[in-house]
Structure 1
Amino acid sequence: MLYICIVGLVGNGIVIYLLCFCIKRNPFTMCILNLAVADFGVLLILNLSVILILTDIENEHGFTFLQWFALFMYTASQLLLIAISIDRCASVLFPIWYRCHRPRQLSTTVCALLWVLSFLTSGSTAILQHFGASWTVYYTFTAGSVVFFPLVITSTMILLFKVFCKAQPRQRGRVLTIVLVTLLFYLIFAFPMNAIYTLNYFADDKHVHLEMYADLCACLNSCVNPLIYFLVGRKEMSQQRQTLKVLLQRAFQEEEAQIEEQKPGNKTTSI
């Protein structure tokens, strides 16, 4: 788990650096940047927790803070991924509105609100837990299972239908592929974590070893996204060496083209 966290920190760190300083951002990559920051935070806290366990450092207040911060970042990551999936579904179901009438600052506003919501949710959970309500942590994951997963499954089914039943092979854009694969891996890795914490909430005896497996799933879920971006951005059948910047730019160039079509003076052929 320690090695996986290090790999994930490097991958998300590269994505954050490139999107901040090397690549022009657009509404979609703004969401991707926030998701990478949340995943980086999850991996950093998991990494610190593993180090504390391996070094036998006993600090109750330190572990409590790390638990709160991990919950804050993990909740933000889930909410941001749901926002991205809903955004892609809107672009698929209402393409003309999305390209012509979608507010330009919508992504920035939504990301800011989701960070605030995550902070309030995890903060209230930490306060209640401080006063003896240890069940609040399990309640958070139970609520996530009830609310988040139906939204993710619905979004995944809509995008799958669009990609494999409606779109021609040449119309299956990289951005749509990135979101679809990310959602599938989220269901594979995040579902066990939420399910385990939900079962522990209702169980008489808490299964600590299962919670450790759940943390490993969360670690893998936060590591896989940068790999998806770079693999999707890789040019097919290309033998040339390509920089990570080029791979990331190619992965999101479809969205960049849509932004150009929205600019005043450019004619759109979508109608």
Structure 2
Amino acid sequence: MESLSFLDTAEKGNQTNNGTELPQNNNPYFELDAQEMALIIIPVFIFVISIFGLTGNGTVVWFLGFRMNRNPFTTFILNLAIADLGVLICTISLMIVLTVFEFSPTLESIAWLTLLCISTFFFYITGQFLLTAISVDRCVSVLFPIWHRCHRPQHLSTIVCALIWILTFLSIGLCSYASLAYLFEKQFFFLFVFLIPPVLCFPLMIISTVILLIKVCFRSQQRKKGRVLRAILLALLFFLFFAFTFSFMILLLLLGFDISEPSLIVGHLCSCLNSSVNPLIYFLVGRKKHSRSKESMKVALQRLFKEEEHGRAELELQVRNQI
């Protein structure tokens, strides 16, 4: 499950299959210590969390993509849910292929491991950039509400999302090709994946989070509007905690620090939680407080995302009345 071992596995597999058999462990007896137990238990948690995350993100994609008219805000949320869905699908697929590889190491399984590893990085980085765009968009909507509601370009969200997908695909594709073709050391690939996006994204997210906290928590007028901003704040806080933990561990490993394999597995667990938690946030923030009746996720999502449309209509009406 160690991220940095996937491309190493591909490299060693190609070398051993050129003329010799892949090495196998012939010792059928072994004892499980605490570290080995962690390597078994934590992947089980990752698998279970990924299943729930797939269900939640799939519901968000289905609802925003096919059951609700999209606006600039929900366009961002839809693309973020697609990116998280891709991370979770690749994570589950990696676990399955890695299990098969342990029992039957073949060139085909090595190729699948490499492809799934690169795909996971692609969706992971795309999600970082999308959440950064969402945080900046919400920050602008709070600081300059009239411009954001009335003068913001209509298709700006769609253009930004398209550019993020295309540029990330080209960057990951070129770096992956150069790394696998030995044009440069694969450490540069991982430095790009785990250093460049955090350097670009984390400062913007932190600044946006602080501004939103000040506007929402310390101003009663903003606190009454509530749901959408609270959902984005929670998503940003969880992302900064979970994604930073995973990226920080990988960076320490790349810089030569000794990071144990269970710690890296915990990093994978944090990444999985980051991709799974957003639908739960939307549901908890969107549902009615103190409601005795059980609400479906569809109703909670509709209440949450309809607030954006109502707020836009109210502000446009106020501007027209002032004019």
TM-score (norm 1): 0.93
Is 1:22 paired with 2:67? Answer: yes
Displacement of 1:131 in angstroms is 2.4
Q: SS state of the match for residue 276, structure 2?
A: helix
* Aligned CA distance change for structure 1 residues 170 and 144 (closer, same or farther; 3 Å): closer
- Alpha-carbon contact 1:45-1:70 (below 8 Å) kept: yes
- Contact 2:215 / 2:222 at 8 angstroms: preserved in 1? no
User: Structure 1 pair 239/107, CA: closer, same or farther in 2 (3 Å)?
Assistant: same
Residue pairs, 1:255-270, within 5 angstroms: 255-261=308-314, 266-268=317-319
Q: Does 1:156 align with 2:209?
A: yes
Compared CA separation, residues 50 and 238, structure 1 to 2 (3 A): same
Q: Is residue 2:169 matched to residue 1:119?
A: yes
- Mapped contact 2:146–2:315 kept (Cα < 8 A): no
Deviations 1:82-130 (A, max 9, x none): 0000000000111111111001101111000000111012112211220
Question: What is the identity, as a one-letter code, of the residue corresponding to 1:118?
Answer: T
**How do residues 86-105 of structure 1 correspond to structure 2 at under 5 angstroms?**
86-105=136-155
In structure 2, the CA distance between the partners of 1:170 and 1:270, relative to structure 1 (3 Å rule), is: farther
Q: Distance in 2 between matches of 1:145 and 1:86?
A: 15
Matched letter for residue 268 of structure 1: V
Matched, 1:167 2:235: no
| Distance (whole Å) between structure 2 residues aligned to residue 26 and residue 259 of structure 1 | 10
Work out whether 1:221 is the aligned partner of 2:274: yes
- Give how far 1:262 is off: 6.9
Which of 136-145 and 8-17 deviates more?
Answer: 136-145
Structure showing greater Rg: 2
Q: 1:270 to 1:109 in 2, by over 3 A?
A: farther
Query: Aligned to 1:60, which of 94, 110, 126?
Result: 110
1:80 deviation in Å? 0.3
CA distance in 2, matches of 1:167, 1:131: 57
Q: 2:197 aligns with which of 119, 135, 144?
A: 144
Q: Does 1:47 align with 2:80?
A: no
Which deviations, in whole Å up to 9, do the C-alpha atoms of 1:190-237 show, x marking residues without a partner? 011110111111116565443322211110000000000011111011
User: Do 2:75 and 2:158's aligned partners in 1 also have CA atoms closer than 8 Å?
Assistant: yes
**Residue of structure 2 in register with 1:203 after alignment:** 256
1:28-87 Cα shifts (integer Å, max 9, x gaps): 011100000000000000001111223335322111101110011001100000000000
CA–CA separation in structure 1 for the residues paired with 2:178 and 2:162:
25
Letter of the aligned partner of 1:173 in structure 2?
Answer: G
1:232 and 2:285 matched: yes
Comparing 140-149 with 2-11, which one deviates more in the overlay? 140-149
**Larger CA deviation: 66-75 vs 212-221:** 212-221
> How far off its partner does 1:150 sit?
1.1
> Contact 1:142 / 1:197 at 8 angstroms: preserved in 2?
no
Code of the aligned partner of 1:234: R
Show structure 2 runs of 5+ residues with no match: 1-45
Percent identity over the alignment is 45
C-alpha contact (below 8 Å) 2:97/2:112 kept by paired residues: no
Distance verdict in 2 for CA 1:176–1:48, change over 3 Å: same
How many residue pairs were aligned?
269
Residue 81 of structure 2 is aligned to residue 36 of structure 1: yes
- Does structure 2 retain, via aligned residues, the 8 Å contact 1:23–1:245? no
The answer as to 2:118 corresponding to 1:73 is no
Moved more, 76-85 or 166-175: 166-175
Question: For the Cα contact (< 8 Å) 2:249–2:259, is it kept in 1?
Answer: no
Q: Per the alignment, in what secondary structure is the counterpart of residue 130 of structure 2?
A: helix
Q: Distance in 2 between matches of 1:10 and 1:270?
A: 44
